[in-house]
A and B are shown apart, each in its own frame.
Chain A
Amino acid sequence: MKYLTNIGLYFMMLKKVFTKPEKWKVFKTVLIKEIEDLGVKSIGIVAFISLFMGGVVAIQTSLNLNNPLITSYLIGFATKRSMILEFAPTFISVILAGKVGSYIASSIGTMRITEQIDALEVMGINSLNYLVLPKIIAVLFFYPLLVMLAMTSGVFGGWLAAVLTGLFSSEQYITGIQLDFDITLIRYAIIKATIFAFIIATVPAYHGYHVKGGSLGVGRASTQSVVWTMVIIILLNYFLTQIILG
């Protein structure tokens, strides 16, 4: 019952979010700031994690390939596929749910408990539209770019592993990643990432906006929002994979 109420409130929130901004000029300024806070500041962590994950996947694949009939091109191929299909869109989204989700929930939650949201409303500003819409647009615009960054640095990480460990050759790896290049898979990944991005922006915003009780409440909302965002992403991932690829 409580879940149903929350889901209802969530969609009512979305309805208030998607209205025309009071002032486009102000909206643009806020949007640029959100792109920086929610997007640009995540470039480092995304590149870092993907690079190492790519390396690990490549090494793991090579270590598990002791059947001489399977060509070692497979290492590059497997690294590329796992990066594009699951790692970049899903794993990175889960990480961003933690990083960006907690930031969104706690910043909006703090504004709630310090009456800054009331201050906006008293001024006659639709606070949901003002606070949440720029965040949604910022992540929808920027996350596909982050996912593509994750794909490239993951694949690059695999190649670095080849060079650094000598477990497999750089040439074979490069041949492997060029094998069976399928643009629809990239499109699939981007669609998934865009849907996850929407969840990452809106679910924590919902938790932050409805915070109850002081700074403890903000902490609680922030944790809860990360858990829920992750759960929703994992569940959606399952269904989207079935729908899009199945």
Chain B
Amino acid sequence: MIITKDIYKSFDNTPVLKGISTIFEEGKTSLIIGQSGSGKTIMMKILLGLIKQDSGTVSFGDKISSDLDRKGQMQLRKEIGMVFQGSALFDSMTIEENIMFPIRMFSDESNEQMRHRANLALKRVNLTDVNSKVPSELSGGMQKRVAIARAIVMEPKYLFCDEPNSGLDPKTAVVIDNLIQEITKEYSITTVINTHDMNSVMEIGEKIIFLKQGIKQWEGSNQEIFKTENQSVVDFVYSSNLFKKIRASFF
């Protein structure tokens, strides 16, 4: 479980996040949604401790992460997996080395053991025969899947995904969404996903936090979001004609 209390963040006196308090639960996929520039990535980077908030706290379980020293931070990060907006695979390494990298850094397993674990993770994301390729030889969707494999190979307690299906075709996007949700259930992970994709909201939005200009406007489940009266949410959710038609069919 991750709890945030009253997170504020500004860049050069321009506020980007204005008092975000919420809870991300274990075994659930929680989505942070909102328009481009609404503060999703900044929020996630603050959760991860990559950017420091101006005020407010983030706690992982019973540990307040800003209270941890560098060593405690590093320890906590070993329990975290992250899928970046642009995959962020190490382009000097092969796919297999990419996935083995965190294991190599933090355990003393033999090469065979590491390779075995990497292969299991690759199988989990339905990728085969890519072990000795380098990231630039894979398509965007395959890179995303490798990034997921790398994020889960250490069996994290917390999983963060920044727009895991941006730039993917609708079918692959659904596959990735479902994959993340399955993994979340399987290992009972606390999963936080940034997205502006309404398909993801429908597929895996167990909990949704809606940001607009750095303010949490609304939170709830995907069952609730289609019925809410909150005008900003309605504007966001029904910005496409397709969804407008769906809404019309509701009422």
Contacts and interface: CB of A to CB of B under 8 A. Distances in A.
B86 A114 contact: yes
Interface string B71-84: 00111111010101
Nearest to B78: A124
A25 B108 CA distance: 10
Given A122-B50, A122-B80, A124-B75, A115 B86 contact: yes
Nearest to A117: B88
B50 A121 contact: yes
Contacts, number: 52
Given A115-B88, A116-B90, A122 B105 contact: no
A87 to B, nearest CB: 34
Nearest to A37: B92
A118 B102 contact: no
Contacts of B77: 121-124
Interface string A62-79: 000000000000000000
Nearest to B80: A122
A119 B104 contact: no
B49 to A, nearest CB: 8
B86 A118 contact: no
Contacts of B80: 122, 124
Interface in A101-129: 111, 114-116, 118-119, 121-126
A25 to B, nearest CB: 8
Contacts of B102: 123
A116 B147 CA distance: 11
Given A123-B77, A124-B75, A124-B78, A118 B50 contact: yes
B91 to A, nearest CB: 8
Nearest to A124: B77
12 contacts: A23-B104, A23-B105, A25-B104, A26-B104, A111-B90, A116-B89, A123-B77, A123-B101, A124-B73, A124-B77, A125-B105, A126-B74
Given A123-B77, A126-B74, 18 more contacts: A22-B106, A23-B106, A26-B104, A115-B85, A115-B88, A116-B90, A118-B84, A119-B84, A119-B90, A122-B77, A122-B80, A123-B78, A123-B101, A123-B105, A124-B73, A124-B74, A124-B78, A124-B106
Interface of A: 22-23, 25-26, 111, 114-116, 118-119, 121-126
Interface of B: 45, 48, 50, 73-78, 80, 82, 84-86, 88-91, 101-102, 104-106, 160
